[in-house]
Copies of this chain bind each other. A is one copy, B any other.
């Protein structure tokens, strides 16, 4: 990345474009992003990006895929290594990891969750990663039920949705600007932590 300066070909424009896109979105928000400026920042002509991404949505989808990978990674890191851990505690860890990542990477989370800007259904990768988290939580809930941690005739299907919606709701509220003043790791996250803990507690039999 140091001195290849003036070669006709960029080398790896695709990744450079993704990086530039993230930069711009960090600075000016998801709106206010133009392919032209992405191109300019990568040092190429305005039409060049379309060689690698057939549309602006395709570019953003690529960014979303990269972001989703990090989100999944964060969620996995957050889980306890011990596989015998209390399933509900494990769910809480997942939720917390999700929330921490979402609040600390609002830009990326916004891209991942706003499906009007990206082609979610067109990306098998995105769907896989999305389903991965969901089935993981479904498994944990199933295990919790078999361990007798939930009410006997618990509606697991509804509970899976509950967990997803609860965490998604908190993350989305933050990303959508429902917390007027805040800064990452500040009080809102603390509040969210307490809310999450209460929520998990409420599920216990």
Q: What is the interface of chain A, defined by CB distance below 8 A to chain B?
A: 29-31, 113-117, 120, 154-155, 157-159, 161-162, 164-170, 172-173, 176-178, 191-192, 194-195, 198-199, 201-203
Copies of this chain present in the complex amount to 2
A161 touches which of B30, B113, B191 (Cβ 8 Å): B191
Which residue among A114, A116, A194 has the maximum number of chain B CB atoms within 10 Å of its CB?
A116
Q: Could you say which residues of chain B place their CB within 8 Å of the CB of A159?
A: 195, 198
Question: From residue A150, how far is it (CB to closest CB) to chain B in Å?
Answer: 10
Given the known interface contacts A177-B120, A198-B159, A202-B203, the answer about A165 and B166 at a Cβ–Cβ threshold of 8 Å is yes
* Contact assessment for A173 and B168 in the assembled complex, using a CB-CB cutoff below 8 Å: yes
Q: Could you say which residues of chain B place their CB within 8 Å of the CB of A202?
A: 199, 201-203
A194 touches which of B30, B158, B192 (Cβ 8 Å): B158
* Contact assessment for A168 and B172 in the assembled complex, using a CB-CB cutoff below 8 Å: yes
Q: Could you say which residues of chain B place their CB within 8 Å of the CB of A155?
A: 194, 198
Q: Please, how many angstroms separate the alpha-carbon atoms of A155 and B197 in the complex?
A: 11
* Contact assessment for B191 and A157 in the assembled complex, using a CB-CB cutoff below 8 Å: yes
